[in-house]
């Protein structure tokens, strides 16, 4: 029972920190390049947060499995280490995905995407949102599968 | 003459198709149980040896020889036949749990010799946790399917005819009838006959894995039974699982055929399944 509570507490803290820090970094990015907020920017900003949330839900499942197993082995250091590493890894992946989708959307339009967003181009914002969300749905399970390879099997019970 | 033979053959084929009768291959894949069983000092009972050779899910061939104690088998049969059925009404899951527990508690299984056989193979092959699971489960999957029922054989189930032959047939269409109660063999009987359907296999695998210290459960649903094994991460083959009340994941394992990997779903709806033996 204690393991489940520790797992819940850790997931809560890490998830809040993950979303808070990601929203903060994204907000800074948009403030830096786009002076005024408009509907198009909000669509891209919201979709990037949603994509980060999709990635978070996948990695938290893997992290929870690993953490509860390691806690049951009384390996507290590794259980927290794995949880932290998984969340940090997925945070970086979410950020890279966001930046890469700017490149992908850039290939679809002859104009600069940032300029188009400044001009409140809803169409390009929606295309960007769809690309980042679809990529998250596709890539997050594969990322968690890679992550789960780092989780050790139990030792043989005999 | 050739034309006549052709028409006879064609007529035979059409007759078979229309009558729905099919010839079942009765080739057995395991040596028969010896009629005379002698006393063995090493085991301390009348026993004979069985030899299992099988291909593991990892593609490696393993071989294991172990003694089967006749008296232990007789005791298992007697215990199963004398299970006192509950007088109060139980749900399907509770009834299955009751019967399985009675089967497991009546005779100590697996024997130390049998468990040591697996341990020795695992040690020699230097297998890890997953490798050991693959080795044990594939040895059970390699045994051909035989239907075990509390009614009479032959029996037709899901369009497949199971003939009145309790030996392990290569076709997997053997049937052991009048096995009371619940149409399930005890683990010792499965080992003795090398014949079993879904729940006979899952109870056997559960007994072996528990004895060796693995975290496994038996799950039942949709008139079927499967084993489920806890792992702290998704297995390579599949990810289908059932959760216990604490949210602990047990990945499903189909035992009625070869090459089913851990987590692979044999087209069942796991929402309708329950953990029977935790």
Q: Whole-angstrom Cα distance, residue B73 to residue B47?
A: 10
Edge to edge, what strands does the sheet with B39-40 contain?
B39-40, B45-55, B61-69
CA distance A81 to chain B (A): 15
A129 touches chain B (CB under 8 A): no
Q: Is residue A158 part of a domain?
A: no
Six-digit token string for B145: 């399917």
Q: Whole-angstrom Cα distance, residue B94 to residue B106?
A: 18
Q: Do B128 and A62 touch (CB under 8 A)?
A: no
CA distance A75 to chain B (A): 14
User: What domain range includes position A108?
Assistant: 2-148
Q: Which residue of B has its CA nearest to A153?
A: B129
- CA angle at B21 for the pair B20 and B22, rounded to the nearest 5°: 115
Smallest Cβ distance to B233: which of A4, A148, A155? A148
pLDDT tens digit string along B74-84?
Answer: 999 999 998 88
What pLDDT, on the 0 to 100 scale, is given for residue A33? 73
Q: Is the pLDDT of residue B5 over 70?
A: no
Q: Is residue A154 part of a domain?
A: no
Q: Is residue A144 part of a domain?
A: yes
Q: Is residue A156 part of a domain?
A: no
Q: Is residue A153 part of a domain?
A: no
What pLDDT, on the 0 to 100 scale, is given for residue A66? 93
Q: Is residue A116 part of a domain?
A: yes
What pLDDT, on the 0 to 100 scale, is given for residue B4? 64
B23 touches chain A (CB under 8 A): no
Please list the residues that pair with B219 across neighbouring strands: B226, B275
A143 touches chain B (CB under 8 A): no
Q: Is residue A41 part of a domain?
A: yes
Q: Which residue of B has its CA nearest to A147?
A: B233
Q: Which residue of A has its CA nearest to B115?
A: A158
Q: Whole-angstrom Cα distance, residue B68 to residue B49?
A: 6
Q: Which residues of A are less than 8 Å from B212 in CB distance? A: 157-158
- Quick one: how far is CA B8 from the chain centroid? 41
pLDDT tens digit string along B96-152?
Answer: 999 999 999 988 888 888 899 999 999 999 999 999 999 999 999 999 999 998 888
What pLDDT, on the 0 to 100 scale, is given for residue B13? 62
Preceding peptide of A103 cis, ω within 30°: no
CA distance B85 to chain A (A): 35
Give the residue, B44 or B129, on which the prediction is more confident. Answer: B129
For A16, residues 6+ apart whose C-beta sits below 8 A from its C-beta are none
Q: Do B128 and A156 touch (CB under 8 A)?
A: yes
pLDDT tens digit string along B186-226?
Answer: 999 999 999 999 999 999 999 999 999 999 999 999 989 99
Query: Side-chain half-sphere of B17: how many Cα atoms within 13 Å?
Result: 6
Q: Which residue of A has its CA nearest to B132?
A: A156
What pLDDT, on the 0 to 100 scale, is given for residue A78? 93
A149 DSSP 8-state letter: T
Reported pTM: 0.84
Is residue A149 classed exposed, middle or buried when 0-12, 13-18 and 19+ CB atoms within 10 A define those classes?
exposed
Under-70 pLDDT residues of chain A: none
Q: Whole-angstrom Cα distance, residue B84 to residue A122?
A: 73
Torsion (CA) B13, B146, B86, B92 in degrees, nearest 10 = -70
Find the length of chain B.
Answer: 278
Q: Whole-angstrom Cα distance, residue B262 to residue B56?
A: 13
Coil, helix or strand for B220? strand
Average pLDDT, chain A: 91
Give the CA distances from residue B45 to residues B67, B71, B276, in Å, rounded to whole numbers and listed in that order: 10, 7, 33
What pLDDT, on the 0 to 100 scale, is given for residue B12? 65
| φ, ψ of residue B91 in degrees (nearest 5) | -75, 170
Smallest Cβ distance to B234: which of A148, A154, A158? A148
% of residues, chain B, pLDDT over 90: 49
Q: Do A62 and B234 touch (CB under 8 A)?
A: yes
Indicate the number of domains in chain A.
1
Q: How far apart are the first and last CA of chain A?
A: 26
Average pLDDT, chain B: 87
Smallest Cβ distance to B232: which of A69, A145, A157? A69
Q: Which residues of B are less than 8 Å from A4 in CB distance? A: 246-247
Q: Whole-angstrom Cα distance, residue A20 to residue A26?
A: 10
Q: Which residue stretches of chain B are H helix? A: 2-19, 70-81, 92-106, 112-125, 129-141, 187-193, 198-212
Q: Which residues of B are less than 8 Å from A157 in CB distance? A: 212-214
CA distance B236 to chain A (A): 9
Q: Which residue of B has its CA nearest to A151?
A: B233
Smallest Cβ distance to A151: which of B132, B214, B233? B233
Q: Is the pLDDT of residue B274 over 90?
A: yes
Q: Whole-angstrom Cα distance, residue A75 to residue B196?
A: 41
């Amino acid at each position: 029972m204690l393991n489940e509570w520790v797992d819940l507490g850790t997931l809560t803290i890490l998830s809040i920190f993950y979303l808070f820090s990601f929203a903060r970094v994204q907000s800074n990015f948009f403030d830096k390049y786009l002076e005024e907020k408009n509907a198009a920017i909000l669509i891209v900003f919201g979709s990037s947060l949603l994509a980060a949330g999709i990635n978070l839900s996948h990695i938290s499942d893997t992290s929870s499995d690993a953490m509860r197993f390691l806690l049951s082995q009384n390996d507290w250091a590794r259980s927290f280490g794995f949880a932290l590493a998984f969340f940090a890894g997925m945070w970086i992946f979410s950020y890279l995905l966001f930046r890469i989708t700017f490149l992908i959307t850039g290939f679809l339009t002859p104009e600069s995407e940032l300029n188009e967003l400044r001009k409140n181009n809803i169409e390009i914002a929606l295309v960007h949102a769809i690309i980042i969300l679809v990529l998250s749905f596709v890539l997050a399970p594969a990322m968690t599968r890679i992550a789960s390879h780092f989780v050790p099997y139990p030792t043989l019970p005999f | 003459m050739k034309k006549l033979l052709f028409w006879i053959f064609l007529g035979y084929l059409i007759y078979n198709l229309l009558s729905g009768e099919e010839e079942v291959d009765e080739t057995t894949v395991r040596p028969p149980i010896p009629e005379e069983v002698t006393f063995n000092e090493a085991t301390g009972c009348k026993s004979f040896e069985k030899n299992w050779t099988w291909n593991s899910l990892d593609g490696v061939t393993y071989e294991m020889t172990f003694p089967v104690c006749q008296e232990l088998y007789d005791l298992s049969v007697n215990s199963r036949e004398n299970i006192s059925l509950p007088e109060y009404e139980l749900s399907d899951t509770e009834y299955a749990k009751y019967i399985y527990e009675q089967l497991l508690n009546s005779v100590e299984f697996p024997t130390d010799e049998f468990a040591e056989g697996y341990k020795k193979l695992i040690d020699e092959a230097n297998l890890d946790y997953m490798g050991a699971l693959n080795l044990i489960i594939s040895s059970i999957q390699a045994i051909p399917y035989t239907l075990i029922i509390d009614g009479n054989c032959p029996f037709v189930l899901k369009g497949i005819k199971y003939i009145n032959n309790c030996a392990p047939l290569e076709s997997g269409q053997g049937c052991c009838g009048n096995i009371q109660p619940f149409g399930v063999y005890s683990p010792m009987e499965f080992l003795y006959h090398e014949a079993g359907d879904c729940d006979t296999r899952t109870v056997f695998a559960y007994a072996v894995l528990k004895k060796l210290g693995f975290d496994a459960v038996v799950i039942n649903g949709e008139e079927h039974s499967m084993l489920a094994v806890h792992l702290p991460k998704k297995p390579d083959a599949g990810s289908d699982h059932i959760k216990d009340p604490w949210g602990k994941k047990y990945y499903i394992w189909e035992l009625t055929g070869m090459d089913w990997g851990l987590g692979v779903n044999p087209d069942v709806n796991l929402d309708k399944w329950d953990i029977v033996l935790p």
